[in-house]
Amino acid sequence: MYLIMLENITRPKVSKNLSGLIFSYCMLISVPAIAIDETIENVLKLGDEAKYGQLKFDLGYRYQNVHVDNNLPTKTANANTLRLRLGYLTPELYYFQSYIEYEGNLAMQEDYNSTRNGYAGFEAVADSEAQELNQFWLSFAGITDTLIKGGRQKINLDNQRFVGDNHWQQMQQTFDSLLISNHSIENLTLNFAYIGGVLSTTSSYRNLQMPLLNFTYKFGKFSTLTGYAYWLADYGQSTNSSQTYGVRLHGAPELKNAISLSYDVAYSNQSNYQNNPGSFQLDRYNILLGITYSGVTLKSGMEILDGNGVYAFQTPLASSHGYQGWADQFLVTPAAGVRDIQATIDKNFYGVDFLFAYHSFADSHGHGYYGDEYDFLISKNFGEHYQVLAKYAYYDADNSLAAQTAGIDKNTQKIWLQGSVSF
């Protein structure tokens, strides 16, 4: 219709009204989309202002390809999966509230080893075809500045380096736990928790116990101090049992001329605990500095997880995919430890986010070299509820004795294409 109209309009008139024409066309597209979103939101709220509770759902499609060089007879993995989360949040009644959530993952193409499907002839993609009760918790907010929540729930503490829901995988990691969060003191958040078991991202149950203490204190305009203590007794894999203590200081001070800085500095100490047969004292160091100007963010830094040749600093309950490269070569820290020197550049251009990251890996003492990694990301959010994403990771392994000993001496490529809808 617009093409026919333009053919009958002189050039000066087209130039004069072009911006209005584009605006009108965008409105024709966006107005129905906004109306549809509002309709869906209203339908999910049961009764006026969610008087009878609220339904929530998250639908995510993903294609993943994993190729490892010179790894015959193991085949390249291709995974097409569709994941659904569907939950119901009750209204608050006498300070009590509850939530229940179903989670299921459908493998539409299962040419991959999920670690549970028996397809050991393919490379691993840890997105099992499964159905589960992902969350089922009850909370109480009747004590001033305090929230008590018990049951199966997501727990994301700080930057999720030690405790997180591992949200990158199709199936989440959730915790059978009791969590008490208190805000009685201004700028201070205290978290006390007891974790009695974990439903992992492969939909398998992990028998463990972990009491924990975590606090966050905000001081000044741009600084946050975090302290934590985690006492993990893992009855499924005793070498994971450990006690970890640490501190983290981070912030993002703003300068003049639209320039802002960021910093993230942390130290942790980990030692054997409960049923762990070993005896060790290991450290973790992290420093990450960044600068943002004109919408471009540059960051660079280093993370070191100690290893003594037998035992290494581990983070088995973390959201690990966001650390030490997206190729996931270091989900378990090698016995010699790992030193990750990294740099990233992030730019948002017309609502599209572009990110490139580089990692250089060696053992924790810098005596043995593992390899390099190159990561790329392009993502776009459409309003609050829709996202599309393309992601690429290439681990360029070094043919060194250190890499061979750690079992990470093969070049690895991973590709993801995905889209999600969340209400």
Of 19 and 344, the structure prediction assigns the larger pLDDT to 344
328: left (phi over 0), alpha (psi -120 to 50) or beta: left
> What is the CATH classification number for the domain harbouring 360?
2.40.160.10
Q: What is the 8-class DSSP label of residue 397?
A: E
126 lies in the same domain as 6: no
**98 in the same domain as 26:** no
Question: Do 303 and 367 have their domain in common?
Answer: yes
Q: Which pLDDT score, from 0 to 100, does residue 33 have?
A: 63
Class of residue 142 by CB neighbours under 10 A (exposed 0-12, middle 13-18, buried 19+) = exposed
Q: Are residues 37 and 60 in the same domain?
A: no
Amino acid 163 reads V
9 and 118, same domain (yes or no): no
Q: Which of 327, 347, 342, 297 is nearest to 392 (CA)?
A: 327
The structural domain count of the chain equals: 2
Residues 7 and 116 in one domain: no
With a pLDDT cut of 70, the percent of the chain lying above it is 92
| The token pair that represents 1 in the structure block | 């219709």
- My answer on whether 72 and 32 are in the same domain is no
Residues 6+ apart with CB under 8 A from 61: 80, 81, 82, 83, 418, 419, 420
Quick one: pLDDT at residue 32?
A: 64
288 falls within a domain: yes
What is the rounded CA–CA span in Å between residue 304 and residue 340?
A: 6
pLDDT band at 220 (very low <50, low <70, confident <90, very high): confident
Record the tokens describing residue 286, joined without a space. Answer: 């992290």
Q: Tell me the pLDDT tens digit for each residue of 41-90.
A: 999 999 998 999 999 999 999 999 999 999 999 999 999 999 999 999 99
Residue 317 maps to a domain:
yes
The secondary structure element, H or E, covering residue 406 is: helix 401-406
Pairwise CA distance, residues 371 & 360, whole Å:
6
Instruction: Quote the tokens at residue 245.
Output: 């203590």
In a shared domain, residues 25 and 123: no
Q: Is the pLDDT of residue 403 over 80?
A: yes
Compute the distance between CA of residue 165 and CA of residue 352 in angstroms, rounded to an integer: 26
Q: Are residues 267 and 244 in the same domain?
A: yes
Alpha-carbon Rg of the chain, whole angstroms? Answer: 24
| Token pair listed for 326 | 């997206």
Q: What are phi and psi of 228, to 5 degrees?
A: -155, 155
Same domain, 38 and 72: no
For 311, the domain range is 50-131+209-422
Contact 364, 284 (CB under 8 A): no
What average pLDDT does range 266-295 have in this prediction?
Answer: 97
pLDDT for 25 beyond 50: no
Rounded Cα distance between 353 and 378, Å, is 6
Could you read off the pLDDT of 113-133 as tens digits, one per residue? Answer: 999 999 999 999 999 999 999
CA proximity to 246, closest of 194, 182, 318, 348: 318
Residue with tokens 């492969």: 202
Q: Binning pLDDT at 50, 70 and 90, where does residue 92 land?
A: very high
Domain membership of residue 200 (yes or no) is: no
Instruction: Tell the burial category of 257 from Cβ atoms under 10 Å away from its Cβ (0-12, 13-18, 19+).
Output: exposed
- Determine if the peptide bond prior to 73 is cis (ω within 30°): yes
Residues 265 and 370 in one domain: yes
User: 412 and 357 in one domain?
Assistant: yes
3-state secondary structure (DSSP) of residue 20: helix
* Domain contains 146: no
Question: Does a structural domain hold residue 117?
Answer: yes
Give the residue with greater pLDDT, 236 vs 16: 236
Which residue carries 């160091």 as its tokens? 285
Evaluate if pTM is beyond 0.95. Answer: no
Which pairs with CB-CB distance under 8 Å and at least 24 residues apart come from 67-73? 67/123, 67/412, 67/413, 67/414, 68/123, 68/410, 68/411, 68/412, 68/413, 69/410, 69/411, 69/412, 70/410, 70/411, 71/123, 71/410, 73/121
In a domain, 340, yes or no: yes
136 inside domain? no
Does the residue 39 lie in any domain?
Answer: yes
